């Protein structure tokens, strides 16, 4: 759950449990819908939501998506997965004007960058991206849509430009997205609404402030 914009602490999961275990636990948390589609121009619109928690060394994130077509062309680290069926998580820590964009296609292929603005970004190296654990499930529905879920265990080391990062002591600004730039019908969903004339996720004015809840053992 993300009650009052607080990310809850999930005790006991760091380095102990599988991604499957984390997926089941996150199923019990409140799902937050990506309810806004600022540039929707008609046609079918995907449905997407997420659950989130954190541990001492990881952020745990699960996306739930239903859409009428999927694409998973890219399989290499830092490929342009936003052209596939893609979910994204942008985060800036402790007032830093620069931020991380974490992007994943429906098979879990990751693209992660850091910087200030869309065109001034540094790729997080593949050697670190390999440490992100993920689990994907896909199934067809009776209506012909495809439901897929992506569970992610994102280690603290991914945020490599913040070597002293402590989640519990941090405040952050975030937004969550669903997109598919290369799909037959491109779409752009977001958790916190964006007001802009054209599709653009790299707008920090529309990140929402969150805190990490105290660690209760």
Residue 11, SS3? coil
Report how far residue 100's alpha carbon sits from residue 115's, in angstroms, rounded to the nearest whole number. Answer: 7
Q: Which two tokens stand for residue 88?
A: 């994204």
Cα angle for residues 210, 215, 217 (degrees, 5° grid): 155
* The three-state (H, E, C) secondary structure of 13-63, written as one string: CCCCCCHHHHHHHHHCCCCEECCECCCCCCCCCCEEEEEEEECCCEEEEEE
The residue-averaged pLDDT of 130-158 equals 96
Mean pLDDT over the full length of the chain = 94
pLDDT tens per residue, range 182-191: 999 999 999 9
pLDDT above 70: residue 15: no
Query: Is residue 217 scored above 80 in pLDDT?
Result: no
Q: How far apart are CA 100 and CA 122, in angstroms?
A: 9
| Residue 53, both tokens | 């928690």
208 CB-near residues (< 8 Å, 6+ apart): 5, 173, 174, 175, 191, 192
| Pairwise CA distance, residues 155 & 14, whole Å | 9
Q: What is the CA radius of gyration of the chain?
A: 16
Provide the pLDDT for residue 43.
Answer: 80
Average pLDDT estimate for 196-209 = 98
For the residues 111-128, what does the mean pLDDT come to?
97
56 contact partners, CB below 8 Å, separation of at least 6? 14, 167, 215
Domains of the chain: 3-210 (2.60.40.1190)
Range of weakest confidence among 78-82, 94-98, 105-109, 140-144: 140-144
Number of CB atoms found within 10 A of residue 46's CB: 23
Q: What is the mean pLDDT of residues 160-183?
A: 96
What pLDDT shows up at residue 17? Answer: 75
Tell me which of 43 and 75 has the higher pLDDT: 75
149 — pLDDT class (breaks 50, 70, 90): very high
Does the pLDDT at position 216 exceed 80?
A: no
Yes or no: say if 216 and 55 are a contact pair by the CB < 8 Å rule: no
Interval 20-61: pLDDT, tens:
999 999 999 989 999 999 999 888 899 999 999 999 999 999
- The pTM score is 0.95
Q: Buried b vs exposed e over 135-161: b needs ≥16 C-beta within 10 Å?
A: bbeeeeeeeebbebbbbbbbbbebbee
Q: Note the pLDDT of residue 1.
A: 45
């Amino acid at each position: 759950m993300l009650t009052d914009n607080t990310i809850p602490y999930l005790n006991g999961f760091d380095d102990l449990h599988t991604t499957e275990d984390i997926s089941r636990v996150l199923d019990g948390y409140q799902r937050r819908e990506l309810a806004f589609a600022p540039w929707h121009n008609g046609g079918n619109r995907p449905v997407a939501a997420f659950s989130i928690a954190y541990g001492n060394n990881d952020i745990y994130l699960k996306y739930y998506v239903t859409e009428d077509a999927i694409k998973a062309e890219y399989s290499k680290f830092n490929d342009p997965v936003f052209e596939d069926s893609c979910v994204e998580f942008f985060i800036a820590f402790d007032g830093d004007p620069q931020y991380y964009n974490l992007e994943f296609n429906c098979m879990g292929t990751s693209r992660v960058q850091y910087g200030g603005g869309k065109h001034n970004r540094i790729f997080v190296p593949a050697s670190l991206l390999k440490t992100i654990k993920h689990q994907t499930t896909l199934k067809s529905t009776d209506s012909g849509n495809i439901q897929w879920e992506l569970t992610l265990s994102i280690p603290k080391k991914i945020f490599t430009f913040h070597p002293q990062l402590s989640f519990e002591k941090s405040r952050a600004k975030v937004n969550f997205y669903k997109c598919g730039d290369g799909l037959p019908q491109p779409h752009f969903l977001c958790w916190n609404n964006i007001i802009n004339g054209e599709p653009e996720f790299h707008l920090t004015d529309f990140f929402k402030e969150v805190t990490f809840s105290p660690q209760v053992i």
